[in-house]
C-alpha cells in the first residue's frame, strides 16, 4: 500500500492547480510524456470499447486539473509497481450520478447494478454538429430514430453521437472557447432529455462531449431532467461512430465509492 501522506499530497495538488509544478519536480512530466495518446479502439470479436484512455492529455472542463499519476513503488524495490492517482470525479469518460446535480440524489455506490447493463441506442447528429457546434439532440431526432429502427427498447441506454471526439487530441478545439471564453459543443436539448426519461424510460444517457447539456447551456436542463429523475449520465464516450444504431448491449463499469457524485468508468458495447 502507498503511504497515506503520498495519496493526500497527490489529491491536495490536484485541488490546487497552481502547485502542479511540484508534480513535475517529482517526475510527473516524464510519466505523463510516456502516457500514450487517446486513440480509437476498433471492435474485436463483437466487443467495442467506448472509453477514452484516462491520462493527462485528455481535455477537462475549464478550471478542472488534469488527471495525474505519480509512481510510488517500483519493481526494483520490493517487486511491485504502483502509482498514486489524483483526479476530479468528472474526468475522462465518466459517469454522472444523480447526486452530481440533485442534493440528496443517489451516489455512485447506490446505483442499481441492473441499470448498468442495457440495450444500447445510438442517435447520430454528427452531420448537423459538424455544421453547428451548438447543435443539440432533439425530440425530432429521437422520433426519427424510432421511425427507422422501431420502438426504443425498454430501459435502454441512449447515446448521442455528435462526432465531437474528432477534436480529442486538441483540447482547445474540444473545449471550443470563443473570444469571451464561452464554450461551444453539442449536447442534449432539455425537452429531449425529458422525453427520453418520461416517454422512453431510459436507464441512462450518454454523450461524446464534456457535458450532457450543450456547452452554451446556463440552466443545465438536460442534467436536471436526467439526473433529477434518478437516471445516470455518461460523458466523453469514445468510438460511438463505430457502434450500431441499435441491437448492441452496453456495459457501464461504473465507479462505486461511497458518496460519489460520479467518476471515471469503463464503458463497453457488445455488438
Enter the pTM of the model: 0.83
| The CATH homologous superfamily of the domain defined by 94-270 | Putative cyclase (3.50.30.50)
Query: Rounded to whole angstroms, how far apart are CA atoms 127 and 43?
Result: 23
Report the number of secondary-structure helices (H) and strands (E) in the chain.
8, 13
Locus of grid cell 448498468: 116
- Higher per-residue confidence, 39 vs 47: 47
pLDDT tier, 18 (very low <50, low <70, confident <90, very high otherwise): very low
Tell me the per-residue pLDDT of 97-149, one tens digit each, with 9 for 90 and over.
999 999 999 999 999 999 999 999 999 999 999 999 999 999 999 999 999 99
Sign of CA dihedral 205, 52, 135, 255: positive
The total of other beta-carbon atoms located within 10 Å of residue 29's CB is: 13
Report whether 249 contacts 114 (CB < 8 A): no
Those residues whose C-beta lies under 8 Å from the C-beta of residue 69, and which sit 6 or more positions away, are: 28, 31, 32, 35, 56, 83, 84, 85, 86
Residue 45: its pLDDT value, please? 64
pLDDT tier, 215 (very low <50, low <70, confident <90, very high otherwise): confident
pLDDT at 217 over 60: yes
pLDDT at 270 over 60: yes
Average pLDDT, the chain: 87
| 3 state SS of 57 | coil
For 144, left (φ over 0), alpha (ψ -120 to 50), or beta?
A: alpha
pLDDT at 12 over 80: no
Tell me the per-residue pLDDT of 235-265, one tens digit each, with 9 for 90 and over.
999 999 999 999 999 999 999 999 999 999 9
Both ends of the chain: CA-CA distance in Å?
A: 38
Strand segments, DSSP code E, in the chain are 47-49, 68-74, 77-86, 94-96, 117-124, 136-137, 157-161, 187-188, 204-207, 232-235, 248-253, 262-264, 266-270
Amino acid at each position: 500500500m502507498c503511504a497515506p501522506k503520498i495519496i493526500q499530497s497527490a489529491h491536495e495538488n490536484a485541488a490546487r492547480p497552481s502547485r502542479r509544478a511540484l508534480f513535475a519536480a517529482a517526475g510527473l512530466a516524464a510519466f505523463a510524456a510516456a502516457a500514450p495518446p487517446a486513440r480509437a479502439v476498433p471492435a474485436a470479436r463483437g466487443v467495442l470499447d467506448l472509453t477514452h484512455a484516462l491520462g493527462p492529455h485528455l481535455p477537462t472542463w475549464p478550471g478542472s486539473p488534469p488527471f495525474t499519476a505519480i509512481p510510488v513503488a517500483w519493481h526494483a524495490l520490493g517487486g511491485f509497481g504502483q502509482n498514486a492517482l489524483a483526479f476530479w470525479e468528472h474526468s475522462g469518460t465518466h459517469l454522472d450520478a444523480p447526486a452530481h446535480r440533485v442534493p440528496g440524489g443517489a451516489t455512485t455506490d447506490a446505483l442499481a447494478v441492473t441499470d448498468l447493463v442495457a440495450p444500447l441506442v445510438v442517435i447520430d447528429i454528427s452531420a448537423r454538429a459538424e455544421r453547428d457546434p451548438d447543435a443539440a439532440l432533439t425530440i425530432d431526432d429521437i422520433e426519427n430514430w424510432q421511425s427507422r429502427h422501431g420502438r426504443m427498447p425498454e430501459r435502454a441506454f441512449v447515446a448521442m453521437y455528435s462526432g465531437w471526439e474528432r477534436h480529442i487530441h486538441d483540447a482547445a478545439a474540444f473545449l471550443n472557447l470563443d473570444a469571451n471564453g464561452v464554450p461551444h459543443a453539442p449536447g442534449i436539448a432539455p425537452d429531449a432529455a425529458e422525453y427520453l426519461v418520461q416517454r422512453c424510460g431510459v436507464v441512462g444517457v450518454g454523450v461524446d462531449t464534456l457535458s450532457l447539456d450543450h456547452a452554451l447551456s446556463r440552466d443545465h436542463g438536460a442534467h436536471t431532467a436526467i439526473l433529477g429523475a434518478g437516471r445516470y449520465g455518461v460523458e466523453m464516450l469514445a468510438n460511438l461512430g463505430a457502434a450500431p444504431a441499435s441491437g448492441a448491449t452496453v456495459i457501464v463499469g461504473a465507479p462505486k465509492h461511497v458518496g460519489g457524485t460520479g467518476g471515471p468508468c469503463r464503458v463497453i458495447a457488445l455488438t
